[in-house]
Structure 1
Amino acid sequence: MKKFVLLHCGFEKPTPEIMTAWGKWFESMKDNILDMGGHFSGGREISKAGIRDLPLGQESITGFTVVSADSLEDAERMARSNPYISSIRVYEMMSK
């Protein structure tokens, strides 16, 4: 099995319906989740151009989950079943 990180993008104020959908997704994925990750509450970007605040919005990276899957395609199938707000970015994690 390979490891993949799912970067959750987009923010909406959580409602009971959103929280229920996420709970059901985590339960359905429990055999593949290696790290439930967490939620981000804004942040800052540091670049050669300087530092800027990153408010929460539709383009924000708002959390992550690490999953195990046989292939990128399998990880993509898992991501499609997620109740994402805007999108999910899927990256394979390199082994040491």
Structure 2
Amino acid sequence: MTNFVLIYTGGGMPESEEKVAEVMAAWGAWYENLGAAIVDGGNPFGASKSVTDKGVSDGPIGSPPATGYTIISADSLDAAVAKVQNHPHLQYGGQVSVYETFQM
């Protein structure tokens, strides 16, 4: 099995407590459905800085900024993408980028 990093971008925040509870339940169900395929449940991202050969700047490079990550395991990139097709982040206009990792 190979590990894949899921990077979340975009999406909106629910405006009511009821919607927050609904979103959290959907994420919990998604994690439960993947079971042992979850390598690292991840976290949302906070403040950021970008570092280049020209210096340091506030905020991320690129748009929209990344909002969090999860690491999963799967047999292939296509299998990892299949696990993300029903991700709750997609329900609110978000995107999930799937990156294959390599063991070194």
SS class of match (2:83): helix
Partner of 1:89: 97
| Inter-partner Cα distance in structure 1 for 2:11 and 2:57 | 19
Partner of 2:84: 79
Deviations, residues 12-33 of structure 1 (Å, cap 9, x unaligned): 3352222121111111112210
How does the TM-score come out when normalised to structure 1?
0.83
Partner of 1:23: 28
Unpaired segments ≥5 residues, structure 1? none
**Are 2:48 and 1:43 aligned?**
yes
CA contact (8 A) 1:69 1:75 kept: yes
| Inter-partner Cα distance in structure 1 for 2:57 and 2:23 | 29
SS class of match (1:95): coil
CA contact (8 A) 1:11 1:60 kept: no
CA contact (8 A) 2:11 2:95 kept: no
Q: 1:26 to 1:41 in 2, by over 3 A?
A: same
Structure 1 residue 72 displacement after superposition? 0.4
RMSD: 2.0
Partner of 1:9: 9
| Same amino acid, percent of matched pairs | 35
How does the TM-score come out when normalised to structure 2?
0.77
SS class of match (2:36): coil
